[in-house]
Structure 1
């Protein structure tokens, strides 16, 4: 069996402070005989010295393209635009299989170099359940930011924090108005996180999942103050919010947090905005009268980088220890090959 060499790359997005592998789990990997190289990164929440102490090699930022053949490149968010041809196996969230903006270009890069995308979104068990996910913390932070915005306590730019500090600002204060909140996708990881955050904020949310969205009660949806969408659609479904809903004179809804951020995808269940928000501009006003604010940040868990990284790493590490024989990685490879064979590269060029 080929020896596994993992290369943890620096994240080029300046607001990305998470890591898929924390130093304690890196020690488990090196202790099992896996070679781990870690790029220096000024923003990663864990300093590179902790990885070196765990037995990892240290490399310069963005040097992964020159890694030896057979090295598996590990990251979280988008790759830089160069090199054009991707020759390695890459593990990260590629967002390339549902027609998202830039998806066709990314797949062409893998085709050009003969590399492989092992998309973490498709690292699933035999029943299709995700094996490693940031969902809980995405939902937690999405709901927390929505409540703080609704109560007038959300300040920008956003900065990373710890859960104890966030909870302190989230707890209800004297004079806070009552809030009615709806969580859609309430039974999933993100929905569970949203429910926990809302209850920390003193809010008892309405919880919808598949049963409640088969025949959507749109007036009930618009009758809440706050909406948290935690649904990641895999097949087309009627949208939860439409442009005409935003202009409904009976709309009570004032704050929407789209945890999923599937903007640009034909499967987007909230097709009422065309670009995400970010740490600098965390809220966008979709309507002035009556007001409606949107939060759609696609790396929410990075605001709690230690907590979210530790949980994700604990789930991913056993899969990496089983890299060559684990069926989950085989399913990732099959999904990548299916994307290429199905015309994902060509059909979205227009």
Structure 2
């Protein structure tokens, strides 16, 4: 077997506390003969000492730029803006294949440096099902924040918590809310339904069958909407700008778990930027109110639970890492296809 060197990088986003590999699974990688380097990171939910204790090498934060050329750089969210040329193979959620803002610039950096993006969103089995995802916890938190805001219990900057504490908060206040989950049958939808159940709510649940011929009046008749649909082909938008001014609109709170803002496939084209932990809710209309929650790293609010689940699903793919066949080969093929599109400046 070809030697594999994985380099777990520090995440530059201050609110990113998750990790794709937890220390218990790092031990499995090392025992399997994989060289694992872990960068120091004060914000990561697990201290670097726990990785060192299971045999990982430790490196300063951001030192991946000078890692050996054969190292595979492993992360979750966006890379820093430098260097201009990316020479390594990188594993992370690149959000670069659907014309999202910044996608062309990112792919150009790879083209200039000769590196490659192995996008975790496209790590799938033979049937196209994703092999590692944060969907459940994204849906759970998206619905939880929407309920807390709708009840007037979401105030100030968000901070990480744990599942037990969040469930207790959801169950601490009553009040009936007409909630709708779209994409209810997927991972994110299941998480959203569980959070709403913890809040004592029985939501309306829609999936493909209900969105093929969208009943827009019924949608706008709910108080709260949790969108868990990540469109891969064009579909009519669920909420349009003109719907915000529709007479009799009951819909007040929308949580967009998908956060596909800027993409032509966005099913909620009513906003142009995500919201943040420091200011999680954005008001788009005053009368009647229409409030949006669109945080693109929701699972980082439950960093221990989210990291543990994701790491368990990613581990088998890392243990069998190879790019000439199987899931990682499909990731590489998808990257190569995207890199040939107009606008990508080759090196």
SS in 1 for 2:15: coil
* Whole-angstrom distance in 1 between the partners of 2:93 and 2:241: 29
Q: Which runs of 4+ in 1 moved over 4 A?
A: none
d(CA) in 2 for partners of 1:250 and 1:345?
A: 46
The within-5 A match list for 1:67-106 is 67-106=67-106
Structure-1 separation of matches of 2:136 and 2:325:
25
Asked whether 1:23 is paired with 2:17, we answer no
- Give the alignment partner of residue 285 of structure 2, picking from 287, 294, 301: 287
Q: CA deviation at 1:326?
A: 5.3
Residues 97 and 344, structure 1, Cα contact 8 Å, conserved in 2: no
Q: Quick one: distance in 2 between partners of 1:252 and 1:275?
A: 24
The two structures have a TM-score, normalised by structure 1, of: 0.97
Larger mean Cα displacement after TM superposition, 316-325 or 220-229: 316-325
1:282-316: per-residue Cα shift (whole Å, max 9, x none)?
00001100001100000000000000000000000
Distance 2:339 2:39 in 1: 30
User: Structure 1 274/19 Cα, relative in aligned 2: closer, same or farther at 3 Å?
Assistant: same
**Retained in 2: the 8 A contact 1:141–1:197?**
yes
**Mapping 1:1-350, distance limit 5 Å:** 1-173=1-173, 176-324=174-322, 327-343=326-342, 345=344
Normalised by the length of structure 2, the TM-score is 0.98
1:250 CA drift (Å): 1.1
* Deviation at residue 54 of structure 1 after TM alignment: 1.0
Offset, 1:340? 1.3
Rounded Cα–Cα distance in structure 2 between residues aligned with 1:319 and 1:55: 20
Aligned counterparts of 2:304 and 2:185: Cα–Cα separation in 1: 24
TM-fit CA distance, 1:102: 0.4
User: How big is each residue's C-alpha offset from its partner over 1:158-185, in whole Å with a ceiling of 9 and x where there is no partner?
Assistant: 0000000111110142xx3210100000
CA distance, structure 1, for counterparts of residue 179 and residue 262 of structure 2: 26
CA positional deviation for 1:155: 1.9
Query: What is the alpha-carbon distance in structure 1 between the residues aligned to residue 308 and residue 342 of structure 2?
Result: 37
Q: Is the 8 A contact 1:319 1:326 kept in 2?
A: no
Give 5+ residue unaligned stretches, structure 2: none
Deviation of 1:344 (Å): 5.7
Gapped runs of 5+ residues in structure 1? none
Where 1:90 maps in the other structure, the secondary structure is strand
Q: 1:171 to 1:344 in 2, by over 3 A?
A: farther
Give aligned pairs, total.
344
In 1, the alpha carbon distance for the partners of 2:327 and 2:36 equals: 21
Supply the distance in 2 between the matched residues of 1:256 and 1:134 (Cα, whole angstroms): 20
Q: 1:136 to 1:326 in 2, by over 3 A?
A: farther
The 2-side partners of 1:205 and 1:219 are apart by: 17
